[in-house]
Amino acid sequence: MSGFSPFDLEQYDKWFDDSSIAVIPDTGYYVGSENIKEYVSIFSEGSTYKLFEDYISDSENQQFLPIVAQGNKCTITLYTKTSSYIAPLNDTIDFVGGTKLHYTILDDGPNPSKILVGQFDAYVPKNMLTLVYTAAKNEDFATRICQIMQDRCPSTFQNNCYTAKSFNNCIDDLLSLPAVGEGGRIDGKSFGCRVNHAFFASTNDSHCPHTSFIPEYDSSCVVKCQDSYGLSNEDVFYPFELSAFAQFGVAIGLGEEQWKLGG
């Protein structure tokens, strides 16, 4: 009834505010409607960056766990068969995508429809992200990241002692990083973290420090893409939720890994 959709970016101010939090295992926390919108745009607008394209949730293959409610505060967990074209793999992947919303109902009518999402948790099978970001670790992506640094983030580019003549040093540094960190996490000193934040920096230079090879503070005195938050799916979702995702993956033909190429 609220009309909520995580991919309807134009209406985020209806459902999120500056205190809303998105918790994305393996990639970290995002606070506030604008920051959450930026992260989701990787999937909804990813064709401009050529990582995720044609990100589609299959509403006919979607299930919900029972809503947990206390007064006007509710939690709902849903999971769906999701498909996306992964450009670095030149293939489509089907996978179990999960969402848990912690929200407050703001009106008291017979059909309450106005909600405020306090926390938005996203689930993606761990090994699938490792596959995607490992495929993205190539000279083409490294060149794009370095070009964004040079064009949009000149001070960060210079702080790393890169120049137009030593542009290839930037590429070499990026390719020396692991695609993902320990346990498949992306938010530490990894190539994958810089893929994400270079996408953000292409339109928002506040992310420029997060593309840096060396540690660099951003405007909020935060350093990103150096040390991981250490979040995993097990930290965010309960065992019964993870079990439901796994059973759903098997039921829709994706097996225990919960993803399959060539979808």
Bridge partners for 260 per DSSP: 94
- Treating both helix axes as pointing N-terminal to C-terminal, what angle do 139-152 and 191-201 enclose, rounded to 10 degrees? 40
Greatest CA span in the chain, whole angstroms? 67
Chain position carrying tokens 């928002």: 204
Bridge partners for 105 per DSSP: 115
Q: What is the pLDDT of residue 176?
A: 97
| Res 183 pLDDT > 80 | yes
Q: What is the pLDDT of residue 263?
A: 60
- For residue 193, the enclosing domain spans 138-176+188-211
DSSP letter at 220? T
Which band of pLDDT confidence, cut at 50, 70 and 90, is reported for residue 5?
confident
Strands, E assignment, the chain? 21-24, 28-31, 52-64, 68-70, 73-86, 91-105, 115-123, 259-261
| Res 87 pLDDT > 90 | no
Query: Per-residue b/e over 225-245, b at no fewer than 16 CB within 10 Å?
Result: bbebbebebeebbeeebeebb
Q: In angstroms, rounded to a whole number, what is the distance separating the alpha carbons of residues 81 and 61?
A: 6
Which band of pLDDT confidence, cut at 50, 70 and 90, is reported for residue 70?
very high
In a domain, 159, yes or no: yes
Verify that 109 and 46 share a domain, yes or no. Answer: yes
Which band of pLDDT confidence, cut at 50, 70 and 90, is reported for residue 23?
very high
In a domain, 63, yes or no: yes
Q: What is the pLDDT of residue 41?
A: 82
As a whole-number percent, the residues of the chain with pLDDT over 90 amount to 67
- CA-nearest of 30, 4, 245, 254 to 117 is 4
Which band of pLDDT confidence, cut at 50, 70 and 90, is reported for residue 154?
very high
Q: What is the pLDDT of residue 123?
A: 94
Please spell the DSSP secondary structure of 141-174, one letter per residue. HHHHHHHHHHHH-HHHHHHTT--STTHHHHHHHH
In a domain, 1, yes or no: no
Verify that 82 and 143 share a domain, yes or no. Answer: no
| Res 44 pLDDT > 70 | no
In a domain, 219, yes or no: no
| Res 95 pLDDT > 90 | yes
| Res 32 pLDDT > 90 | yes
Q: What is the pLDDT of residue 48?
A: 54
Q: What is the pLDDT of residue 58?
A: 78
In a domain, 132, yes or no: no
Q: If you average pLDDT over residues 214-229, what whole number do you get?
A: 92
Average pLDDT, the chain: 90
